[in-house]
Structure 1
Amino acid sequence: MSFSVQKAPSPVEAPLDASVAVDKKSTLEIQPAATNASPVRQKWYQWFSPTDTPEERRLIMKLDGLILVFVFLAYWAKVLDSSATSTAYVSGMKEDLRLYGNQLNYLNTVYMVGFITMQIPLTLVMTRLPINYFLPTADLLWGVFTLAQYKVSNVYQLYALRFFVGALGGFFFPAVQWYLGSWYKRSELSRRGAIFFIASQVGGMSSGYIQAGAYATLNGKHGIEGWRWLYIICFACTVPIALFGLLVLPSTPDRCNSKILTAREIQLAQDRMAVEHREPRKAITLLKFKKTLSGWHFWILIGFAFFFSQADGVSSNSGLPLWLKAEGYSVESINTITTVSPAVTIVASLICGILSDAYDAKVWLIAITALLNIFACIVLAVWKVPLGLKFSAFFLSGSADGIAAIIYAWANEICSHDAEERALVISSMNTIGNTFGAWLPLL
């Protein structure tokens, strides 16, 4: 970021307006050189910008340790639950609760109703409250509702619990994207967003092993069936993470009362966001809603999110495991081979996040990712291709989610002048994407 240095006015140059005063602590006032000035970006192998002072670097490292660690672990735990119900269903829940009809589909539907309908309201509520308490408390409540599922005796109890689990877990992703945008500069956001996002892939890769091991060792212990232990494990993972968040998370820079960050660090964070033109939180009014809904930011970014959310259809709709099963691969082979796709997503996310921050290459990265996935989809649509090419296409489709961090970092940047608009746009992007993703693949 380039800066212009404005010197204090001399007595001759002193302004007539008495409301303009010189800062008593310093005769220098640092301001952004221009609204559209580009930040001085680090190289792809560097963590800090060349213009970051030692004080800024210490602050950034502190924020990474406080914020990134919590959101990564919390997101990882939520992925465990998202797969726990499917695993529980085939591990005894079906027989114990007599789920012989479409109950599993109904359970997934109820979960998605809570997930989708509460994203926008809860994200907006979050902007009104201290986020350092709101996020961990919601996480703790999510864990409690997850735990309660192990005690159910019929499917109707499970329906109610799945709705609240979906509601308390669904808003977490957009809320964290907004939260990251409140602390990090545009040259720092994509990498942090990528690190946060890959927690879902790590969770997906590890959940099968954790659940298989838990079922094998805990089934019947203390008179509790193995499938019920899966929910207890999710709760046990969540509680320490939520408590960690309550202890260490700072709120947003404009309303920060952190016990770990010093007053100087909070002021520095506020100055960094001022340079980025990242506005503090203000009142939510009907006029603000109308302004957001009538502006191009909302509709362009929503449309962008719609296409992105459908782009990962090959990897998200179980095409690879279904094909492997039809080809007669063993369960062990299927579990091993399908871990390649999330591994590709992890690598793609990190590459895109690093290059986006270093070179502001959002457009190129999105375009290249789109072309790779168009090629993969064409290969799979043709289908009668060499076996190696077919595997490559399935694996290559895992790169589609690599641009998730870029898209949400871009939304934070575009809507930087209005904190409430950022919250509404980001939560709406995720809501619309999940809404269409729930039914469009059925066509």
Structure 2
Amino acid sequence: MESHAIEKAPHTTDAEENPGIKTETPHGSEPRRQKWYEWFAPTDTPAERKLILKLDGLIIVFVFLAYWAKVLDSSATSTAYVSGMKEDLRLYGNQLNYLQTVYMVGFITMQIPLTLVMTRCPVNYFLPAADLLWGVFTLAQYKASNVTQLYALRFFVGALGGFFFPAVQWYLGSWYKRSELSRRGAIFFIASQVGSMSSGYIQAGAYARLDGRYGIEGWRWLYIICFACTIPIAFLGLCLLPSTPDKCTSRFLSADEIRLAQERMASENREARQPFTKSKVIQILKGWRLWVLVAFAFFFSQADGVSSNSGLPLWLKAEGYSVENINTITTVSPAVTIVASVICAVFSDIYNAKASLIATTAVLNIFACIVLAIWNVPVGLKFFAFFLSGTADGIAAIIYAWANDICAHSAEERAIVISTMNTIGNTFGAWIPLFVWKTVDAPRYLIGYNWTIALDVCMLVMLVVLQKFWAREQKRSRS
């Protein structure tokens, strides 16, 4: 269906520049700003509100559930290893490390190619189909009889799961306005935190109740459960997901709603997909957006080291806390991440305060790491610092929402930039912790905490650079 662009009048107001933020009251008084608890913008028409609710039901439900299921698998191999797989498959030496390496090779090398392939295909089929294949390869691991088979299977599991995050960020940017995108991205991102909080309980319960059932070892049941969670979600996606507005087919969206979605994206200058030519690739590589955003993403992606490198549980163990208490206390960090993600997303959408939120989060993380680097501080302050570091990932959704906005003029550039941002972060995240977050330094990771401080300082510098480039481009577009 043909897209209908909406031209902006010369006297466009701030409310029209940022739809959903402000609107004039009936009597022409001060414009009313959207409240933090309001899901819709004051300027949204009844038709838009109905469309937004439909999109949330069709898209957000699927991507949340699918991401949650993938987090279950990311911890399944480590759980299986200590639950009998090591002995059954004779995994001695560094085989577990090699399994993780093979997984990361598939995860990293296929992110950009598969994200770009998705932009050429009907997204409503591509995402669920990849999810379905991911489930099949996950299930196949339960039949593995030697480590060589596991190596091959882990590569494909990594490849089919790795591109999901950048692909979904691109997909959300194809449907939602800038004043809606951060909240949807946050809901999607929160699935990973919910998954990390629930995976241990699910896997422990499954092993306790299913070990030996039907002659199947408990560690093999873990992969069967991951498959059982994934397949219904994949079929749900096949039934619900619409493609992108430019070439949309959906049994749940009317022709008028598809046209409205196209007009909404046109008002955001969000371009539809175009042919992927050599000249376009060269233009993207020569532009500032790719390099500045990827450099920014590198510093952000490594700055969550405090919460992702087991400092808190190892400290609690050294202090003599029970296993039950350790498992309970460590759930606070992902809970903090969830709360921070929601707060950042709401303020980002309503106040368009991306830069301020990123800067505030970096400063909070610097403070937490300074406390932990000093180490000899009151116990309450140390707990506070560990928990405060959970805010570091709270800005993930707004960073990718900002990338969607900055690269709005080209669907192809959005795909390349977003997937490269995520790929670079994962690439460096696969080996830097080996040197910075050494287990022998635990629980006082002095190098790691100082490294994180340096990362956050660099992120603040890159934030200034990014703002200057973005402001210059906006000024040029207005002239």
TM-score (norm 2): 0.85
Deviation at 1:277, TM superposition (A): 0.5
Q: Deviations over 1:148-195 (max 9, x none)?
A: 000001111001100000000000000000000000000000000000
Deviation at 1:43, TM superposition (A): 2.2
Deviation at 1:98, TM superposition (A): 1.0
Give the letter aligned to residue 118 of structure 2.
Answer: M
- The alignment status of 1:277 with 2:264, answered yes or no, reads no
Give the letter aligned to residue 338 of structure 1.
Answer: T
- The alignment status of 1:253 with 2:241, answered yes or no, reads no
Pairing partner for 2:18 from 38, 44, 55: 38
SS in 1 for 2:430: helix
Correspondences of 1:289-300 after superposition (within 5 Å)? 289-300=281-292
Partner of 1:223 in structure 2?
215
Pairing partner for 2:107 from 115, 118, 122: 115
Cα distance between partner residues in 2 of 1:30 and 1:140? 38
Deviation at 1:328, TM superposition (A): 2.5
Partner of 2:442 in structure 1?
none
CA contact 2:63–2:188 (8 Å) conserved in 1 = yes
Deviation at 1:29, TM superposition (A): 9.2
Judged with a 3 Å threshold, the aligned counterparts in structure 2 of structure 1 residues 328 and 287 are, in CA distance, closer, same or farther, namely: same
Partner of 1:25 in structure 2?
none
Give the letter aligned to residue 120 of structure 2.
Answer: R
Cα distance between partner residues in 1 of 2:9 and 2:94? 61
Deviation at 1:30, TM superposition (A): 5.1
SS in 1 for 2:161: helix
Partner of 1:428 in structure 2?
420
Judged with a 3 Å threshold, the aligned counterparts in structure 2 of structure 1 residues 40 and 66 are, in CA distance, closer, same or farther, namely: closer
Partner of 1:412 in structure 2?
404
Cα distance between partner residues in 2 of 1:389 and 1:355? 28
Give the letter aligned to residue 31 of structure 1.
Answer: E
SS in 1 for 2:80: helix
Judged with a 3 Å threshold, the aligned counterparts in structure 2 of structure 1 residues 29 and 284 are, in CA distance, closer, same or farther, namely: closer
Deviation at 1:129, TM superposition (A): 0.2
- The alignment status of 1:441 with 2:437, answered yes or no, reads no
Cα distance between partner residues in 1 of 2:91 and 2:314? 23
Unaligned ranges ≥5, structure 1: 1-27
Pairing partner for 2:384 from 378, 392, 415: 392
The worse-fitting range, judged by mean Cα deviation, of 42-51 and 397-406 is 42-51
SS in 2 for 1:31: coil
Q: Deviations over 1:83-134 (max 9, x none)?
A: 1011111111111111120011101100000000000000000000000000
Partner of 1:19 in structure 2?
none
Partner of 2:299 in structure 1?
307
SS in 2 for 1:32: coil
Partner of 2:62 in structure 1?
70
- The alignment status of 1:262 with 2:254, answered yes or no, reads yes
Cα distance between partner residues in 2 of 1:32 and 1:315? 45
Q: Deviations over 1:204-236 (max 9, x none)?
A: 000000000000000000000000000000000
Judged with a 3 Å threshold, the aligned counterparts in structure 2 of structure 1 residues 106 and 30 are, in CA distance, closer, same or farther, namely: closer
Cα distance between partner residues in 1 of 2:63 and 2:18? 28
Unaligned ranges ≥5, structure 2: 22-33, 436-479
Give the letter aligned to residue 33 of structure 1.
Answer: A
Cα distance between partner residues in 2 of 1:282 and 1:214? 47
Judged with a 3 Å threshold, the aligned counterparts in structure 2 of structure 1 residues 362 and 97 are, in CA distance, closer, same or farther, namely: same
The worse-fitting range, judged by mean Cα deviation, of 433-442 and 75-84 is 433-442
Deviation at 1:32, TM superposition (A): 2.7
Cα distance between partner residues in 2 of 1:315 and 1:142? 27
Give the letter aligned to residue 286 of structure 1.
Answer: K
CA contact 2:20–2:44 (8 Å) conserved in 1 = no
Cα distance between partner residues in 1 of 2:342 and 2:429? 24
Pairing partner for 2:351 from 359, 366, 381: 359
Deviation at 1:288, TM superposition (A): 1.2
Cα distance between partner residues in 2 of 1:180 and 1:272? 13
SS in 2 for 1:187: helix
Cα distance between partner residues in 1 of 2:267 and 2:185? 20
Q: Deviations over 1:227-258 (max 9, x none)?
A: 00000000000000000000010000000011
Cα distance between partner residues in 1 of 2:127 and 2:237? 8
Pairing partner for 1:379 from 364, 371, 384: 371
Q: Alignment identity in percent?
A: 81
Cα distance between partner residues in 1 of 2:160 and 2:412? 20
Cα distance between partner residues in 2 of 1:216 and 1:299? 49
Pairing partner for 2:41 from 37, 49, 56: 49
Cα distance between partner residues in 1 of 2:5 and 2:276? 31
Cα distance between partner residues in 1 of 2:372 and 2:8? 50
Pairing partner for 1:166 from 158, 161, 169: 158
Cα distance between partner residues in 2 of 1:40 and 1:391? 39
Partner of 1:96 in structure 2?
88
Give the letter aligned to residue 159 of structure 1.
Answer: Y
Cα distance between partner residues in 1 of 2:325 and 2:361? 28
SS in 2 for 1:183: coil
Q: Deviations over 1:40-97 (max 9, x none)?
A: 4132111111111000000000000000000000000000000101111111111111
SS in 2 for 1:45: coil
CA contact 2:20–2:40 (8 Å) conserved in 1 = no
